[in-house]
């Protein structure tokens, strides 16, 4: 099927203005398997206004669910701040915060104790107006959903906001699980630069 809505074919030469018009550009597409962290290096220079990442993941750890986290430039200094709002089952929604942490929570993923090996979590994370040459704080916002069974209280949605509070130029993003498990085959992260 042709890619409807974009009137060029593979290999065409087009004016660069198309690229600015299109908004999102893929920076990296990775499928970690059997590793505890996934590093994505960002392109050098002032190419993008910010970044977005769509992801799906599962952890090898023997848990029903674990938290996905991200790190700025691989740094594990206690400078990550996060606010979360959770919905599960019919319970009253709960908010929580994490201050001065070594990584920032940004998603939920099922683990080896989930009811089926096909349970994966997913979500999207935005780092708006975080440019590779600016320095300053890296604020982010994210949503996620994960299901570890078919029974009440085993489905979760969460939304997050937070930041890395030490500044510096942003050169990479690292994803890892809070519990230290490995990414399972089928996990995938696609990072987009926002023009």
Partner 1 sequence: MATGFPVKPLELVDVPWHNAVGGFRIADTTVVGAGTGWTFSSIPQTFKHLLLLWVASTTGTADDQVGLRINSVSTANYHHQQLQGLGTGASAGEGLLTTFGQVSFLPGSTGRTDAKYGSAGVVLFPGYSLAGSFPTWVSRSDFTKTASTGGSRAWLYGGALQSSAQAITTIQLFSGGGVNITPGSRATLYGLT
Quote the least distance from Cβ 1 to partner 1, whole Å: 5
Q: Which of 70, 140, 156, 183 binds partner 1 (CB under 8 A)?
A: 156
CB of 35 to partner 1, least distance (A): 17
Return the SS3 of 56: strand
Sheet hosting strand 37-41, strand order edge to edge: 37-41, 172-177, 65-72, 104-110
User: How many residues are listed for the chain in this entry?
Assistant: 195
From 99, 152, 167, 180, residue interacting with partner 1 (rule: CB under 8 A): 152
CB neighbour list of residue 6: distance below 8 Å, 6 or more residues apart? none
Dihedral sign, Cα of residue 100, residue 102, residue 105, residue 109: negative
Asked if 49 interacts with partner 1 (CB under 8 A), we say yes
Which residues are 155's β-sheet partners? 147
Binding mask 108-127 for partner 1 (x = CB under 8 A): --------x-xxxxxxx---
- Contact with partner 1 (CB under 8 A) among 145, 165, 168, 169: 145
Residues 60-89 that bind partner 1 (CB under 8 A): 85-89
Interatomic CA distance for residues 116 and 150, integer angstroms: 10
Q: Which residues contact 131 (CB under 8 A, 6 or more apart)?
A: 46, 48, 49, 50, 170
Biggest CA pair distance of the chain: 55
User: Nearer Cβ to partner 1, position 74 or 153?
Assistant: 153
# of chain residues touching partner 1 (CB under 8 A): 69
Contact between 30 and partner 1 by CB under 8 A: the answer reads no
Using CB under 8 A as the binding rule, whether residue 41 contacts partner 1 is answered as no
Binding site for partner 1 (CB under 8 A): 1, 3-6, 8, 10-20, 22-26, 29, 45-49, 54-56, 58, 85-93, 116, 118-124, 143-147, 150-157, 159, 185-186, 188, 190, 192, 195
């Amino acid at each position: 099927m042709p890619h409807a809505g974009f009137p060029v074919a593979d290999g065409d030469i087009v004016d660069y203005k198309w690229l600015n018009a299109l908004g999102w550009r893929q920076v990296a597409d990775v499928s970690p398997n059997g590793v505890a962290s996934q590093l994505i290096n960002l392109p050098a220079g002032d190419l993008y206004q910010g970044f977005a990442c769509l992801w799906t993941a599962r952890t090898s750890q023997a848990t029903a669910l674990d938290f996905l986290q991200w790190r700025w430039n691989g740094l594990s200094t206690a400078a990550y701040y996060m606010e979360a709002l959770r919905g599960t089952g019919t319970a009253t929604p709960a908010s929580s915060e994490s201050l001065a942490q070594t990584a920032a929570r940004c998603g939920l993923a099922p683990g080896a104790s989930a009811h089926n090996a096909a349970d994966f979590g997913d979500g999207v994370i935005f780092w708006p107006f975080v440019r590779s040459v600016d320095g300053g704080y890296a604020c982010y916002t994210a949503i996620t959903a994960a299901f570890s069974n078919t029974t009440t209280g085993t489905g979760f949605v969460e939304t997050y906001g937070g930041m890395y509070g030490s500044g510096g130029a942003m050169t990479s993003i690292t994803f890892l699980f809070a519990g230290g498990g490995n990414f399972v085959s089928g996990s995938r992260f696609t990072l987009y630069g926002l023009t």
